Amino acid sequence: MSLAKHLEKILAFVPKGSLPDEQEKELSQLLKKVEREMKMTEFKYEKTARDKKTLEKLLAETINELEAKNNNLAETNAQLISMEEELRQNSEELRVLNERLEERVEQAVSDIERQKELLEVKNKHIMGSINYAKRIQKAMLLSEDEIATIFPNSFVFFSPKDIVSGDFYWFTRLGEYRFVAVIDCTGHGVPGAFMSLILNDGLNEIVKFRKVVEPAKILEELHIYVINALRQRGSSNRDGADMSLCVVNDVHHTLTYAGARQNLVFFRGNKLIEVKADRKSIGGYIKNKNEVKFISHVVDLSSCKDSYFYLASDGFADQFGGENGGKLLRQNFKKKLQSICNLACKVQKKELKKYYQNWKGEEDQIDDVLVIGFQA
């Protein structure tokens, strides 16, 4: 029973009118106040009960969420432990692989160093052999002083691509005849140098021992000499040479020229004259083909007194360079010869060398270069 009901029950024992009006009024107000407070207390109690239920529900939900998260954490922890074990195993495998790799690298470095040492030794031997071959080839070529005894007013601009060369020059004298030739053998470097020895021996045998003085005949016999020396009739070898040959007769004052893909250039006054070579090479046997014949061309030296004659391999005109990186070309080469043909031979050589080097610039030299200028 509420406090208000107890008060009402107590007041029921108090006879009406037994209390003064003021006391009865105060008791009545007190009763009402107690009722109000009791109602307020009951409301607060009910609210507290509702809040309690809400909090209990929230607490239960929170506990459920925490338990779920705890389960997830336990699962995640198990996964992390598994991953940690897997990483440990991988780390161990990597350590073993790294050790093996280091061993292999050390072995590879050791092998490379050993191979490098072997290559350096071999390269030293090869370079020694090539430099020795250079001495042999140089001994084969006449010196400037020796050339001057045959053609006093002459120059040789010779620039091999490698240590040894496939281009070479040949001078000799035989009685009233003076010979000069430019020979461009197949290839350059060591292969070209081997070919140069064969061609040089062939020229010496044909001219000095067989006494052949006709340029066309010399080229024809040299062609057969190369075919026989390289046994080209029974093989696929087609090596040979392009060349130009001039023979000056000091008695008849003539210059006789024959060429295998190398023209003769000279100037009568300031007029350029180019004598065309035969479009055939020396060597290179072709089955079922007619015997190779060359043509000799005779120049009367009395009509071109003080003129310079020029023989050259294709290395000068074929060199890449200039502003656009193209070939120099034979046309520009002949223009340069025309611009220097009235200068002294030593000056001509200097100007040609300067012109060639300026044209080539930073480009690699692509072939052996050989130019000979001479007064007959």
Delimit the domains of the chain by residue range.
19-140, 143-375
Kindly state the average pLDDT of the residues 191-208: 94
Residue 117: pLDDT above 70?
Answer: yes
Please tell me the distance from the alpha carbon of residue 372 to that of residue 94, in angstroms, as a whole number.
Answer: 70
- SS3 assignment, position 29: helix
For residue 37, CA distances in Å to 9, 27, 262 come to 18, 15, 136
For residue 77, CA distances in Å to 70, 80, 81, 139 come to 10, 5, 6, 88
Kindly state the average pLDDT of the residues 55-81: 83
Helices (H) and strands (E) in the chain, counts: 7, 12
Residue 9 — pLDDT band, cuts 50, 70, 90?
low
Give the residue, 8 or 276, on which the prediction is more confident: 276
pTM of the model: 0.71
CATH tag, 143-375: 3.60.40.10
Percentage of the chain surpassing pLDDT 90?
53
Kindly state the average pLDDT of the residues 185-196: 86
Residue 67 — pLDDT band, cuts 50, 70, 90?
confident
Residue with tokens 């006494």: 211
Residue 16 — pLDDT band, cuts 50, 70, 90?
low
Lookup: tokens for 1: 């029973």
Radius of gyration over alpha carbons of the chain, in Å?
A: 57
Please tell me the distance from the alpha carbon of residue 375 to that of residue 345, in angstroms, as a whole number.
Answer: 9
